[in-house]
């Protein structure tokens, strides 16, 4: 068990009454619990908290009045990521996939796996099935893309990125998810806080379903996988935007942090960017 | 309450061991129940039935051996679609949308609403909110597209269709869903059997969330909305394919039927293609 | 005959030896001639001038050494745009189009007319053929797009713009060109200097082939058509980039001007943004 | 000098008065001449012949009346393709490219080279410049695509094909052209007759500008490059469609042939699919 202090401070200038939907609270499950969790709004606004879907995404909705607005979230997280011996992790046969995993084979807005069956088959079809094949997909993504802030936008898809060969964390995740799905491996997007991510920011990575369980992967290799604190889980980034704004408000500042408080193992070490771990 | 006899017969030639995932069984909910439901496989194969998601999509999975394969599904359905006075149906404010409806504002594979905010705003932004605005979106879709079998394929999206101006039922639904979401109205895809659809086939239509409830719409105007028997509900057609094939099997024949057995009201009348009804 | 003083000053910081290909010199033809034309490079670099294609685009190629680089072009232009009575300008029948005009019916990189036959047909197919139909295409473009600097980039196409409904001058031209071609009207892109354009900049507009002649159009309505000084003519913006850079150089400043020196008619009046004129 | 008998028979059923624009006549230049050339229309229609552009594309325009229509073209071609020692063929520096070649660096409708700079750079940027780099591009195209009739359509682009990894001859040419342009090598599309192509059909291939001259390439490896009889030359397939139809006519049959009549060298041998030749 590792203990991590996470948080974020979002500042806006609200021009006219605006509803903000925030997905910045850490998810609660058997592998993640929080203590000292708080959300503060300055000036005071009533907030509504709601959970979405069976995956426990936690949303905060604020009807903001015009003026400056600061939202600060923080929590101390007890994280129990399970480290596994990846050599024994096999792919599940299609006929054995549980019903809940099937939807993560479907193409989604930013992961057009339905256009990439042959592409994926040619690049990864001859590899042995299993955890190592998803690693090969991550390696291919890491090697063929260049991490370039600003090179993509909110409507950029995996197919766009496969052609332009640049992107940021969400794009790396979308490419790897698409290639996994095209190979018949259920895959989904995860947003989170990440210990030792430089510069600190919200992070986007993914999970693949292998051998009856979801495993975390990050094709960017920017931070230790075992230190990922889950916020939201979805088909792709469309499902877990950290802030959705209806109205007229401009972001004026964003700070994010994720600091190791107590480490019982090596999972938070900066170099462990490819450890095999599961956190659901 | 109306009673409808629905069914489908799917025939395949299976070249090598193949898994078929079928989504052809009618959904079970407060508005739909079945009697005399059966699924027959010829030659005999064991089947696995599973439900997916909170919406009650029912899947049948078959591990098929090489050779001819016939699947015949049939059911007698008691359908209680609620007819409503649409004049009183308002849009929900964004701040009042329940958490479960929020995901249906997100863009999805075939409904790129994130690219259409201005398009939708210009065409429908000045209309009065409410059921009538979704009707206006359906009318626009009906008037600007030409129903042309074969003009689109499995990877065609709403944006493709908005440019080429032709499509089939799934494309009409994708366009209307995308425009609804871009206007802030949650919308989702529904597959089903449809009484009085000519020629008989599986049908695709959609639901929009208005005034605290989901309402059925069909921009094709090809069949009475009150006679739609729900099979599956999802983000878009990607979620409710009636057959997904992993392996090597060719479809050799498809028959679909949906026959009125007993009608207590006018909802099944062929002309009632724009009635305001809700069936969940 | 009107006399216009045009010019541009381009400044770069060249990191390593770089070739610049500039298309900023005004075209020479029966309707445009120059006096006092000069191009100055600071510091001194040898330049190569070459003409491309039958349309007389004039290119300047510079092999630039590292350091600051300033290119200043200026010319006094005698412009003889012919004003016409558009009521008498008809479309040419396809069978009568001269061979040289046929290529301007083909789709090009940023003008995917081959995807828009039905779109164009539905919007403009019932209108009377002739100059007025191209005017209708310009009006539609003007009314459905919002001029938004920064909303598009170098790879944005007409189809992208038709969906997102925003763009700048090159996008307006691409949309109108695409719709013209889809209607069977040859259309091509023209870059130029524009009198009374605010803020001053290079401008992009288009020409349509009607009744045996090319006519100028500008769907942005930002400047008087009769004051357009032609630089380059091409399939679309891909053919007439004002600067193409091979190497490593950053633009540090750009100034463009086009000032009326002597006006013999009303063609340069700021309001004459829809005059029917031909300048080739 | 090799002598080849080429021809094509196109049959249509014309529903209403229709203009056909055919690009099926072989080009005339220093490397290609014809004897016994004829074009027969059954029933008799007057035809108009015109040449387009500096590249000598020859068009035939027919205003067809309703009914059956057969067009038969044939010619005996004297073909002088120059075989070269490719080891000595270098790329031209950008600063040395002649003005006429520059347009073939621009992206075009089906060759979106402007989206592929990084892609091309990563795959081919470290290779030695010269003829061998274009060969590497052809090899990459050959190895990553599967030749699949029917897998693409008239609006399919190089980027589409790079993702779906299947196509026909025009798609192979578009991919290779796009990658060449993205590497700074001018490249253009050529349509033609091809000796020893199985099954016989019109063929699409390409030319790259290297060391001051255009060289023929064919990434499909389906027929000997030295036996290609040029019909049309253009930016991409949009410029050299063998038949463009305005009106209402359906193709009912198409036959194409290209038979060796006299061979003075080995260039027509079926295996010589990668010979270095130039024919302009």
In this complex, the chains that touch B, judged by 3 or more CB pairs closer than 8 A, are A, C
Helix (H) or strand (E) holding D214: strand D213-217
Average confidence (pLDDT) over D255-259: 98
**In the prediction, which pLDDT does B193 show?**
98
Q: Are residues B89 and B59 in the same domain?
A: no
* CB-CB neighbors (< 8 A) of B109 in chain A: 106-109, 111-112, 114
Q: How far is CA A60 from the centre of its chain?
A: 18
Domain limits for position C38: 2-80+242-262
* CB-CB neighbors (< 8 A) of C63 in chain D: 95
Q: Are residues C250 and C272 in the same domain?
A: no
**In the prediction, which pLDDT does B232 show?**
97
pLDDT in tens, D122-175: 999 999 999 999 999 999 999 999 999 999 999 999 999 999 999 999 999 999
| ipTM of this predicted structure | 0.95
Across the interface, whether the CB atoms of D114 and C154 are under 8 A apart is answered yes
Q: Is B55 on the interface with C (CB under 8 A)?
A: no
Considering CB atoms only, which of D116, D119, D163 is closest to A116?
Answer: D163
pLDDT surpassing 80 at residue B53: no
Interface size, chain A vs chain D, as Cβ–Cβ contacts under 8 Å? 30
Would you say residue D13 lies in a domain?
A: yes
Q: Are residues A144 and A71 in the same domain?
A: no
Cα distances from C242 to residues B170, C154, C166, C231, in angstroms, run: 44, 13, 22, 9
pLDDT in tens, B88-121: 999 999 999 999 999 999 999 999 999 999 999 9
Q: Are residues D128 and D249 in the same domain?
A: no
Cα distances from D42 to residues C5, C7, D58, D70, D74, in angstroms, run: 60, 59, 20, 5, 14
Considering CB atoms only, which of C115, C118, C165 is closest to B118?
Answer: C165
The structure tokens listed for A246 are 């209806």
**In the prediction, which pLDDT does C54 show?**
73
Q: How far is B272 from chain A (nearest CA, A)?
A: 34
Which of D23, D54, D106 is most worth mutating to test chain C (most C CB atoms within 10 A of its CB)?
Answer: D106
CA Rg value for chain B: 19
Q: How many helices (H) and strands (E) does chain C have?
A: 5, 14
Which of the four pLDDT bands, split at 50, 70 and 90, describes residue D53?
Answer: confident
Considering CB atoms only, which of D53, D54, D107 is closest to C238?
Answer: D107
Q: Is B118 on the interface with C (CB under 8 A)?
A: yes
Q: Are residues A209 and A115 in the same domain?
A: yes
How many alpha carbons lie under 13 Å from residue A104 in its C-beta half-sphere?
Answer: 27
Chain C residue with minimal CA distance to B159? C163
Direct distance between the N- and C-terminal alpha carbons of chain A, in angstroms, rounded to an integer: 14
* CB-CB neighbors (< 8 A) of C165 in chain B: 118-119, 122
**In the prediction, which pLDDT does C56 show?**
79
pLDDT in tens, C182-197: 999 999 999 999 999 9
Q: What torsion, rounded to 10 degrees, do the Cα atoms B258, B261, B265, B266 define? A: 40
Average confidence (pLDDT) over A253-280: 94
Q: Are residues B69 and B105 in the same domain?
A: no
Q: Does the bond joining A106 to the residue before it have cis omega, within 30 degrees of 0?
A: no
A192 vs A26: CA distance, rounded Å: 8
Closest CA to B130 of B279, B276, B273: B276
pLDDT in tens, B201-216: 999 999 999 999 999 9
In this complex, the chains that touch C, judged by 3 or more CB pairs closer than 8 A, are B, D
pLDDT in tens, C227-260: 999 999 999 999 999 999 999 999 999 999 999 9
CATH code assigned at A25: 2.60.40.2250
Q: Are residues A55 and A30 in the same domain?
A: yes
Helix (H) or strand (E) holding A178: helix A169-182
Across the interface, whether the CB atoms of A164 and D119 are under 8 A apart is answered yes
Q: Is D158 on the interface with A (CB under 8 A)?
A: no
Q: Is D239 on the interface with C (CB under 8 A)?
A: yes
Q: Classify D263 in phi/psi space as left (phi over 0), alpha (psi -120 to 50) or beta.
A: beta
Domain count, chain A: 2
Q: Are residues B66 and B112 in the same domain?
A: no
Average pLDDT score over chain B: 96
Q: How far is D148 from chain A (nearest CA, A)?
A: 12
Closest CA to B192 of B271, B87, B81: B81
**In the prediction, which pLDDT does A257 show?**
98
Average pLDDT score over chain C: 96
Q: Which residue has the tokens 């009533």?
A: A46
Per DSSP, C195 falls in state T
The structure tokens listed for B57 are 């999509």
Considering CB atoms only, which of C115, C122, C166 is closest to B144?
Answer: C122
Average confidence (pLDDT) over D235-255: 97
**In the prediction, which pLDDT does D38 show?**
97
Across the interface, whether the CB atoms of D163 and A122 are under 8 A apart is answered no
Q: Is D235 on the interface with C (CB under 8 A)?
A: yes
A140 vs A217: CA distance, rounded Å: 13
The structure tokens listed for C278 are 């031909």
pLDDT in tens, C36-45: 999 999 999 9
Considering CB atoms only, which of A21, A108, A246 is closest to B108?
Answer: A108
Q: Is C146 on the interface with B (CB under 8 A)?
A: yes
Considering CB atoms only, which of D115, D146, D166 is closest to A163?
Answer: D115
Q: Which residue has the tokens 């359509």?
A: D153
pLDDT in tens, C102-159: 999 999 999 999 999 999 999 999 999 999 999 999 999 999 999 999 999 999 999 9
Which of the four pLDDT bands, split at 50, 70 and 90, describes residue C1?
Answer: confident
Considering CB atoms only, which of B53, B100, B109 is closest to A107?
Answer: B109
Which of the four pLDDT bands, split at 50, 70 and 90, describes residue C181?
Answer: very high
pLDDT in tens, A187-241: 999 999 999 999 999 999 999 999 999 999 999 999 999 999 999 999 999 999 9
Q: Are residues C101 and C229 in the same domain?
A: yes
Direct distance between the N- and C-terminal alpha carbons of chain D, in angstroms, rounded to an integer: 14
CATH code assigned at D169: 3.10.620.30
The structure tokens listed for B191 are 């597959």
**In the prediction, which pLDDT does C53 show?**
72
Closest CA to D138 of D179, D197, D192: D179
Chain A residue with minimal CA distance to D166? A118
pLDDT surpassing 90 at residue B45: yes
Number of residues that this document lists for chain C = 280
B124 vs C69: CA distance, rounded Å: 50
**In the prediction, which pLDDT does B48 show?**
94
Q: Is A59 on the interface with B (CB under 8 A)?
A: yes
Percent of chain D past pLDDT 70, that is, above it, reads 100
pLDDT surpassing 90 at residue B51: no
**In the prediction, which pLDDT does C51 show?**
85
Q: Is D162 on the interface with A (CB under 8 A)?
A: yes
A64 vs A86: CA distance, rounded Å: 47
**In the prediction, which pLDDT does A47 show?**
94
Q: Are residues C99 and C204 in the same domain?
A: yes
In this complex, the chains that touch A, judged by 3 or more CB pairs closer than 8 A, are B, D
Which of the four pLDDT bands, split at 50, 70 and 90, describes residue C213?
Answer: very high
Closest CA to D34 of D82, D79, D81, D83: D79
Count of beta carbons in the 10 Å neighbourhood of residue A136: 17
* CB-CB neighbors (< 8 A) of B159 in chain C: 163
Q: Are residues A91 and A209 in the same domain?
A: yes
Q: Are residues C104 and C151 in the same domain?
A: yes
pLDDT surpassing 80 at residue A54: no
Average pLDDT score over chain A: 96
**In the prediction, which pLDDT does B190 show?**
98
Average confidence (pLDDT) over D32-52: 93
């Amino acid at each position: 068990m590792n203990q991590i202090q996470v948080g974020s401070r979002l500042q806006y200038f609200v021009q006219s009454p605006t509803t903000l939907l925030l997905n910045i609270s850490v998810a609660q499950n058997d592998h993640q619990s929080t203590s000292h969790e708080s959300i503060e709004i300055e000036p005071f606004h009533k907030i509504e908290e709601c959970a979405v879907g069976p995956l426990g995404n936690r949303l905060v909705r604020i009807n903001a009045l015009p003026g400056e607005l600061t939202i600060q979230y923080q929590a101390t997280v007890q994280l129990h990521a399970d480290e596994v011996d990846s050599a024994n992790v096999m792919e599940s046969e299609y006929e054995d996939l549980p019903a809940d995993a099937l939807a993560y084979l479907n193409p989604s807005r930013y992961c057009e796996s339905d256009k990439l069956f042959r592409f994926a088959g040619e690049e990864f079809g001859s590899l042995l099935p299993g955890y190592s094949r998803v690693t090969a997909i991550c390696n291919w993504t890491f090697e063929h893309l260049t991490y370039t802030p600003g090179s993509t936008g909110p409507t950029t898809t995996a197919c766009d990125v496969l052609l332009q060969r640049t992107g940021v964390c969400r794009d790396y995740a979308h490419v790897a998810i698409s290639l996994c799905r095209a190979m018949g491996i259920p895959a989904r997007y995860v947003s989170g806080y990440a210990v030792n991510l430089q510069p600190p920011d919200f992070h986007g990575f993914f999970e693949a379903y292998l051998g009856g369980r979801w495993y975390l992967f990050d094709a960017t290799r920017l931070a230790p996988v075992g230190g990922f604190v889950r916020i939201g889980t979805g088909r792709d980034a469309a499902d877990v935007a950290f802030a959705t704004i209806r109205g007229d408000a401009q972001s004026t500042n964003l700070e994010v942090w994720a600091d190791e408080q107590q480490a019982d193992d090596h999972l938070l070490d900066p170099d462990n960017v490819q450890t095999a771990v599961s956190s659901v």
